[in-house]
Amino acid sequence: MRAQCCAALILAAGASSIACQREAPSERQLAAAKEYTAVGRKIRWNAPSAERFGISSSDFAGASKGGAMGGAMGGDDVGENALHWELPSGWVERPSAQFREANFFVAGDERAECYLTTLAGEAGGLAANVNRWRTQVSLPPLGEAEVAALPKLPWLGGQAAYVDFEGHWTGMSGDQSEQGWRLVGLLLVQPTGSRFLKMVGPSEVIGREVAAFRALAASFHDGAGHAHGDGAPAQTAPPLSPDQATQGLPAGHPPMGSTAKGGAGQMKSETIADAPAVDTMRNASLEWRAPQGWKRGPEKTMREVTYLADAAGQVECYVTLLGGSGGGTLANINRWCTQMGAAQLTDADMAKLEQVPMAGAAGVIVKLERGADATAAAGQDLLLGAVSMLSERALFVKMTGPRDAVEAQHAAFVEFCKSLKAAR
């Protein structure tokens, strides 16, 4: 009996094993492998917040969690009452959200947005926040001296740093990718609490709305003596003093928030809303003045800036700044000669070239016509090029296009080269 039971168990186990083998899936039944490619910057999801966002979570301690502004901040510098504002024409007010006490769609494109954030204390400091924003538009960080030299505007009882950046937008987490975006913002960083007003979106939209952004900033007030709809004017920021108006601007730049009137030294102070847009003709390395009629061209790698110098868009002028000397002035000019199919220059030829001051150093200008042996890099019929060897870098300005169109821009090209200087 026991033998029969054992035999039965063995037969049952064998049958079960066969059934399992029949039901087990084969490799042919598995789905084919798929490969996913990440878009944008690589993100370490397990990284600390300080690495992912460039700011510590402790910076957000005590910050408002949405709704009326001000109460969670504390401190006289930011006010204890909820703020009020005047909505710019065409803008759409959105519900408040975490770290967005005021939240708007900017007129013209729902990708463009503007919002106000209130944080406890200094929120990591001015430099950390400025450079966090610069990282979001793929720009290199500024040094402490450069941050200190940013233009200042009176806002909410303090002096706010004003920034205007253009670049490749990657977003707060680095997971977005938008070419040709612009970020305009005010940063008021104080020990008792900090406020940040930030507008970002496609450059053409933001460019049209800079004046509205300034008007919005000037309209923020604590509601004292004011009720919406009663016709009473909102409280605006105090006017700029002449010293404040010129702080952080290049030499000879018109004061922000002021316009010359009458003789020298007679200035008309204006508020944030009245001030003209900040001159954006600068980046982290250079400042310059674009000739009248030149228009910004598309951003390209290895270029500080690109301009289309004629109405037809056939004449291109761009600036390149490289580390080191690249072999020196003569070697670089002869590289252009090779591109244009022109004869190589000698030291004696160099001595005859037109000279121009560029970024605090002496530069030379060469004019080269396209020859039969020109390479694909030659561009069109004529090349105007300027080279200046700085202390540790080489500065190049190159213009190409149809012969007559480039010749017509010769004087403007020289003035543009003269206007180049190291950013302060």
Query: Has residue 80 been placed in a domain?
Result: yes
What mean pLDDT comes out for the span 239-259?
Answer: 37
What mean pLDDT comes out for the span 11-19?
Answer: 51
Structural contact between residues 278 and 162, judged by C-beta atoms closer than 8 angstroms = yes
What mean pLDDT comes out for the span 227-237?
Answer: 40
* Predicted pLDDT of residue 396: 95
* Predicted pLDDT of residue 259: 29
**130 or 376, greater pLDDT:** 130
- Regarding whether 202 and 61 lie in a shared domain, the answer is yes
What Rg do the C-alpha atoms of the chain give, in angstroms?
A: 30
What mean pLDDT comes out for the span 295-303?
Answer: 83
Q: What is the pTM of this model?
A: 0.43
* Predicted pLDDT of residue 413: 96
* Predicted pLDDT of residue 304: 87
Average pLDDT, the chain: 74
Residue 167 token pair: 């670049």
- CA nearest 51: which of 139, 132, 167, 171? 132
Query: Has residue 224 been placed in a domain?
Result: no
Query: Has residue 192 been placed in a domain?
Result: yes
The enclosing domain of 394 has a CATH number of 3.40.1000.10
In the structure, what pLDDT confidence band is assigned to residue 323 with cuts at 50, 70 and 90?
confident
**Beta partners for residue 282, in sequence order:** 287
- Regarding whether 311 and 179 lie in a shared domain, the answer is no
- CA nearest 236: which of 210, 215, 211, 213? 215
- CA nearest 336: which of 388, 380, 418, 398? 398
Whether 36 shows a pLDDT value over 70: the answer reads: no
Residue that is last in its domain, among 175, 195, 219: 219
Whether 104 shows a pLDDT value over 90: the answer reads: yes
- Regarding whether 177 and 94 lie in a shared domain, the answer is yes
What mean pLDDT comes out for the span 128-140?
Answer: 92
- Number of folded domains that form the chain: 2
Query: Has residue 339 been placed in a domain?
Result: yes
- Regarding whether 418 and 295 lie in a shared domain, the answer is yes
* Predicted pLDDT of residue 300: 79
Residue 381 token pair: 């019929």
- Regarding whether 376 and 291 lie in a shared domain, the answer is yes
Structural contact between residues 278 and 211, judged by C-beta atoms closer than 8 angstroms = no
* Predicted pLDDT of residue 134: 92
Whether 423 shows a pLDDT value over 70: the answer reads: yes
**Beta partners for residue 32, in sequence order:** none
- Regarding whether 74 and 158 lie in a shared domain, the answer is yes
What mean pLDDT comes out for the span 370-390?
Answer: 87
Query: Has residue 164 been placed in a domain?
Result: yes
- Regarding whether 70 and 210 lie in a shared domain, the answer is yes
Structural contact between residues 348 and 313, judged by C-beta atoms closer than 8 angstroms = no
Query: Has residue 28 been placed in a domain?
Result: no
* Predicted pLDDT of residue 185: 95
* Predicted pLDDT of residue 170: 87
DSSP H or E stretch at residue 338? helix 329-340
Query: Has residue 143 been placed in a domain?
Result: yes
- Regarding whether 290 and 215 lie in a shared domain, the answer is no
- Regarding whether 212 and 112 lie in a shared domain, the answer is yes
The 3-state DSSP class for residue 15 equals: helix
- Regarding whether 192 and 311 lie in a shared domain, the answer is no
Whether 28 shows a pLDDT value over 60: the answer reads: no
What mean pLDDT comes out for the span 88-109?
Answer: 87
Structural contact between residues 257 and 245, judged by C-beta atoms closer than 8 angstroms = yes
CB atoms within 10 A of CB 263: 6
Q: Which of 41-55, 111-125, 301-315, 407-421 has the lowest mean pLDDT?
A: 41-55
What is the C-alpha separation between 380 and 409, in angstroms, rounded?
15
Query: Has residue 261 been placed in a domain?
Result: no
What mean pLDDT comes out for the span 218-242?
Answer: 50
- Regarding whether 298 and 198 lie in a shared domain, the answer is no
- Regarding whether 339 and 206 lie in a shared domain, the answer is no
**Beta partners for residue 49, in sequence order:** none
Q: How does DSSP classify residue 282?
A: B
Residue that is last in its domain, among 173, 198, 219: 219
Whether 238 shows a pLDDT value over 90: the answer reads: no
* Predicted pLDDT of residue 270: 38
Whether 34 shows a pLDDT value over 70: the answer reads: no
Whether 42 shows a pLDDT value over 80: the answer reads: no
Q: Which residue range forms the structural domain that includes residue 108?
A: 56-219
In sequence order, the 6+-apart residues with CB closer than 8 A to the CB of 226 are 84, 232, 233, 234, 235
Predicted confidence (pLDDT) per residue in 170-186, tens digit: 887 777 889 999 999 99
What mean pLDDT comes out for the span 17-35?
Answer: 53
Residue that is last in its domain, among 219, 242, 266: 219
What is the C-alpha separation between 240 and 257, in angstroms, rounded?
7
What mean pLDDT comes out for the span 311-330?
Answer: 87
